[in-house]
Structure 1
Amino acid sequence: MEQVRAFVGIALPRECREQAARLGAAVAGLARGAASPARAEAVHLTLRFLGDVPTGGPGGLPAITAALAAIPFAAFGLRFGGGGFFPDMARPRVAWAGLAVGAPECLALAAAVDTALVPLGLPPEARPYRPHLTLARLREPGRGGDWAGALGRLAAAAWPDLRVTACTLWRSVLSPTGARHEVLAVFPARDA
């Protein structure tokens, strides 16, 4: 059966995606080794990566779509702020922006997504969910960089206030130039 690489997340407005790309380029420029800043067209806030899922069958896309559509959640405010590195500053692989507003709501929504997908054979994530926005991937962390300067830029970045009114199921198509994301379904917020 055909499969697609899929994930659930929150779509962001253009101004926020462009800010993430600019900030990612600035952080990548502080690395001494190879680094890849986020591309504006690919920026989103991931709630749950699903991996390869079948296009049909009991645990396939139609069942996943129905399960996600049944999740009640209220619209909420969100603003990025601050940030850091995964796994840590000693050997950073990913530079990220954190949330100044909306983290509890993102945590609750991610948990609801996990719970809704368990009956379809998708176990909950093993690692705790940490809402963040990936800004850059640092390909050679051992070569170092001005990580203190990067943290300063992350702390000083001005982000717009957002209103989350939906979550999205995406298909991710990988290519040599990077992933392209195609919207499969959008799930509007409604009263919980």
Structure 2
Amino acid sequence: MQTIRVFISIEIPQEIKEKISLIQEQLKTIETPISWVRLDSIHLTLKFLGNITELQIPEIKNCMTTAANGIPPFDVKVKRGGVFPNLNYPRVIWLGLEDRTDSLFKLQKGIDSCLKKIDFEPEERGFTPHLTLGRVKSLKGKNHLIRTIHIYKDIEVGEIYVDKIKLMRSQLNPSGAIYTILEEVGLTAVESGQ
């Protein structure tokens, strides 16, 4: 049976993407070779599922609905520049997210917990909400990169209003991944019976 590659995510508003574009342009002055994420590909991943069959989509949507049930729409702040795994070995350049209500963490934990019941592995690492800006291809010019990242450690980019989550298909090709919405689930302030 044919499989598709999918993940659950939150969409990023255009005005935030435009600010990210300015940051990427400033970071492009670094001599470190970096593969930059295209603006139309920037999103907040809640759960990467990998390859699934289309027959699994209804169960996954049910988990999304269960996790969203009882969580009202909320705001998260896009702030803090950083790298993974650490400044000594920077591989991924990102912007962090601040969730004052813990709703983002509850949502992600609810998704992970429900998906575990239908045989999807839970995340091994703790959930660190972030938007990936680029991937470091080589550590040439690492010191310049680290100094520049320090400039962005206290940056505030704006807020994201989270009112829905999406199941996305990812089709890889040489010019970058193409994302297609498969399912969309709204957050609901009041718990409803399933």
Q: Which runs of 5+ in 2 are unaligned?
A: none
Q: Quick one: distance in 1 between partners of 2:57 and 2:28? A: 36
**Residues 141, 94 of structure 1: alpha-carbon distance in 2 compared, 3 angstrom cutoff:** same
Over 4 Å off, 4+ runs:
none
**Residues 92, 10 of structure 1: alpha-carbon distance in 2 compared, 3 angstrom cutoff:** same
Q: Quick one: distance in 2 between partners of 1:18 and 1:132? A: 17
Q: Quick one: distance in 1 between partners of 2:153 and 2:17? A: 15
What letter matches 2:159 in structure 1?
D
Q: Paired residue for 1:6?
A: 6
Q: Quick one: distance in 2 between partners of 1:129 and 1:149? A: 25
- SS at 2:120 equivalent: coil
- SS at 2:89 equivalent: coil
Q: Paired residue for 1:174?
A: 172
Contact preservation (8 Å) 2:75, 2:161: yes
Provide the TM-score with structure 1 as the length reference: 0.89
Identity %: 27
- SS at 1:16 equivalent: helix
Shift of 1:79: 1.2
The total of aligned residue pairs comes to: 187
Q: Quick one: distance in 2 between partners of 1:131 and 1:113? A: 14
Describe the superposition over 1:103-148 as per-residue Cα deviations: whole angstroms up to 9, x where unpaired. Answer: 7222111101101111211021111111111111111025413312
Q: Quick one: distance in 2 between partners of 1:180 and 1:45? A: 15
Contact preservation (8 Å) 1:21, 1:38: no
What letter matches 2:59 in structure 1?
A
Contact preservation (8 Å) 2:77, 2:99: yes
Q: Paired residue for 1:44?
A: 43
**Residues 24, 161 of structure 1: alpha-carbon distance in 2 compared, 3 angstrom cutoff:** same
Contact preservation (8 Å) 1:94, 1:134: yes
Q: Paired residue for 1:88?
A: 86
Contact preservation (8 Å) 1:9, 1:46: yes
Q: Quick one: distance in 2 between partners of 1:103 and 1:92? A: 30
Q: Cα RMSD between the aligned structures?
A: 1.7
Q: Paired residue for 1:98?
A: 96
Q: Quick one: distance in 2 between partners of 1:25 and 1:92? A: 19
Q: Which structure features the higher share of strand residues? A: 2
Contact preservation (8 Å) 2:64, 2:165: no
